Amino acid sequence: MQAAGVVFLALFAITLAVLYVAVRRAWAPTFSLLLAGGVLNLAFVMAFAFTNENVYTAQAVLAGVVVGLGFSAAVVAIARFFRVNEPPKRRQLISSHAFEEETRDGRDDHGSS
């Protein structure tokens, strides 16, 4: 494996990680992120395939489409699943005792002296 191939694989992995975070955090519409990530990953996998001397153009394009788009779609599906099923943020509950202390303003309603 050539050094350029390692660089393209690293860019592919980084793109997948950033794509996951972008979908989880809803930085943009999911379909737009899928298109952008898919095109980038398709290009990186094709570029990786072209670093090998024994690969035909059709093989590189097929690998880019299947692997690049396939992994991008899988990452978007997983991130979207976890974003949709994320539990809602919890509200902070105030105990009734603390609420009574706050509303009484120092009064002693229990009759103790």
Evaluate whether residue 32 is within a structural domain.
yes
Evaluate whether residue 70 is within a structural domain.
yes
Print the domain residue range for 26: 3-84
Q: Quote the CA–CA distance of 49 and 60 in Å, as a whole number.
A: 5
Evaluate whether residue 96 is within a structural domain.
no
Tally of structural domains, the chain: 1
| Average pLDDT across the chain, whole number | 85
Q: Which DSSP helix (H) or strand (E) runs through 14?
A: helix 3-25
Residue 34: CB partners within 8 Å, gap ≥ 6? 72, 73, 76
Evaluate whether residue 91 is within a structural domain.
no
Evaluate whether residue 28 is within a structural domain.
yes
The DSSP secondary-structure symbol of 95 reads -
pTM confidence score? 0.73
Evaluate whether residue 55 is within a structural domain.
yes
Evaluate whether residue 50 is within a structural domain.
yes
Evaluate whether residue 93 is within a structural domain.
no
- Going by C-alpha positions, the residue among 23, 42, 20 that lies closest to residue 31 is 23
Per-residue pLDDT tens over the stretch 26-81? 999 999 999 999 999 999 999 999 998 888 889 889 989 999 999 999 999 999 99
